[in-house]
Amino acid sequence: MFKKRDGFLKISEDKKRLVSNFFSLSALQGINLVLPLITLQYLVRVLGVENYGLINFVVSIIMYFNILISFGFELSATREISIHREDNKKISEIFSAVMIIKTIMLLFSLVTLSMLVLFIDSFKAHALLYYATFGIVIGDSIFPSWFFQGMERMKYITYINVFSKSLFAVLIFVFIKEKTDYIYVPLLNSAGSIIGGVYALWLVFKLFPIQFVIPSKEIIYTQLKDSFRFFLSRIANNGSRYFATTIIGLYFGNLLVGYYSMVEKLFYAFMSIGSIISQTIYPYMSRTRNIQFFKKIFIFIVGLSILLLLPIICFNEEILFLVFGVRDAILSKIFIIVFSAAIFSIASALLGYPLLAALGHIKYANNSLIYASFIYVGYTSLVVIFTQNIYLVSSAISIYMALGFLFRVYYVRKTKILF
């Protein structure tokens, strides 16, 4: 009787935590959606599409460093923290090892950026812009979101991000008044990121019974080894996002990279539906392996996404004008091409880490994106070299998302984890 009662309480606690984490991440993504839409409209109109495109081109370069420093810890360390969260000594070792690795990679990234600025003219011409944007990497490297997710305390991520992003949005309107003020965009963004990261670190030591320790070489090696599998998939997934922006900036100029970046911001805002659910249930699925629960979530989220996507595509011109104040046939076509992959992306996100990786098939979750990215990079490169057609280049992201989904469907069927 007591066992049943304990089991009942355990289930109730799990559900309560899932609901709390879902609303925390939903609030965070809501802020991530609403505030950029407000500031983007202002930035595009004040700075112009070309300066806005330049800013996003530089961001696409800097984010490669961010991928390196993240190194897949947002998945591997999250899982380890979730599994060992009752062992204070173990989570202290994990936390310390990850932060040491991130610090070393941050220093390496800064040296690499300095070499690029020193020896490549296009980097040297916008050196201040690159260094100002690099502050985002510093902030992200010290923000232990993976720790809060592993402890299933996402509300702290929400509080910090809401504050820093709200402050950033307000300061945008205060400091940016004309086209030449574009340098303030990465400076303000970096300042918010660093302040948020420092405060998050302070919260970790204040709220949780952990200490910073000097981990053994074996623990550091284990963290690197375990994260490397996820790192490859992060290169494939996140790298593909910035690869298209980089290619368009190099071959088509700041105006078209501005158009593409505008659409991309809306696309990834819509895709946050999948990421919210994925991040929420990943620790839970790692612990419980509740397949019936996953099936219900998958069907509901994919169905909801389809219902939301149809009117978005139909009224894309109105949405683009409302958000950015721009009406352009090229912009509209890029929007339709990119958004055609949205359902594949959301479904793929749900099949990946909350299912395949959480149930022990990490290799399949990673390989699906790695294989898709090889095809994506090859396709994009060939299209640029032989056609230089902006629509074909824009379609690369749709091809990548669809392939990633199909590979994951294949692995789900191969492992028979849903049957």
* Cα 170 to Cα 164, 266, 293, 334, distances in angstroms: 10, 21, 41, 30
Q: Which amino acid is at 126?
A: H
Report, as an integer, the average pLDDT of 271-297: 81
Among 57, 2, 38, 21, smallest CA distance to 260 is for 57
C-alpha neighbours within 13 Å on the C-beta side of residue 418: 20
Q: Which of 2-11, 105-114, 125-134, 284-293 has the lowest mean pLDDT?
A: 2-11
Q: Could you read off the pLDDT of 90-120 as tens digits, one per residue?
A: 889 999 999 999 999 999 999 999 999 999 9
pLDDT range class, residue 333, cuts 50, 70, 90: very high
Give residue 14's pLDDT: 64
Pairwise CA distance, residues 182 & 18, whole Å: 40
Distance CA 172, CA 246 (A): 25
Q: What is the pLDDT of residue 8?
A: 41
Q: Tokens 């100029």 label which residue? A: 253
Q: What pLDDT score does 152 carry? A: 75
Half-sphere exposure of 241 (CA within 13 A, CB side): 21
For 166-176, write each residue's pLDDT tens digit: 888 888 889 99
Helices and strands (H and E) in the chain: how many: 17, 0
Q: Distance between CA 196 and CA 241 in Å, rounded? A: 24
Alpha carbon distances (Å) from 286 to 28, 31, 79, 353, 388? 23, 28, 7, 9, 44
CA distance linking residue 242 with residue 139, whole number of Å: 19
| pLDDT for residue 1 | 38
Q: Which value, to the nearest 10 degrees, does the dihedral of the CA atoms of residues 357, 362, 367, 370 take?
A: 80
Tokens describing residue 136: 């985002």
- In this predicted model, which residue has the larger pLDDT, 103 or 358? 103
Confidence of residue 12 (pLDDT cuts 50, 70, 90): low
Give the pLDDT score at 408.
94
Q: What is the DSSP letter of 107?
A: H
pLDDT-derived band at 19 (thresholds 50, 70, 90) equals low
Mean pLDDT of 368-386: 90
Instruction: Tell me the pLDDT of the chain averaged across its residues.
Output: 85
pLDDT > 70: percent of the chain: 91
- The rounded distance, in Å, linking the Cα atoms of 215 and 198 is 22
Do the Cβ atoms of 138 and 197 come closer than 8 Å? yes
CA 163/CA 158 separation, integer angstroms: 8
**Would you place residue 265 in the very low, low, confident or very high pLDDT band (cuts 50, 70, 90)?**
confident
Q: For residue 360, name the pLDDT band (cuts at 50, 70, 90).
A: confident
**Contact present, 230 and 75 (Cβ < 8 Å):** yes
Question: In this predicted structure, what is the pLDDT of residue 102?
Answer: 93
- Answer whether 282's CB lies under 8 Å from 274's CB: no
CA–CA separation, 77 and 230 (whole Å) = 10
pLDDT at residue 83, as a whole number = 83
Mean pLDDT of 406-414: 94
Per-residue model confidence as pLDDT tens digits over 182-205? 999 999 989 988 998 999 999 999
Q: What mean pLDDT comes out for the span 155-176?
A: 82
Sorting pLDDT into bands at 50, 70 and 90, what band is 232?
confident
Global confidence as pTM: 0.75
CA distance 344 to 354: 16
For residue 80, the model assigns a pLDDT of 85
Spatial contact of 403 and 387, defined as CB atoms under 8 Å apart: no
The three-class DSSP label of residue 211 is coil
Mean pLDDT of 359-377: 88
Least confident span in 12-21, 131-140, 310-319:
12-21
The Cα 371–Cα 369 span in angstroms is: 6
Mean pLDDT in residue range 243-266: 89
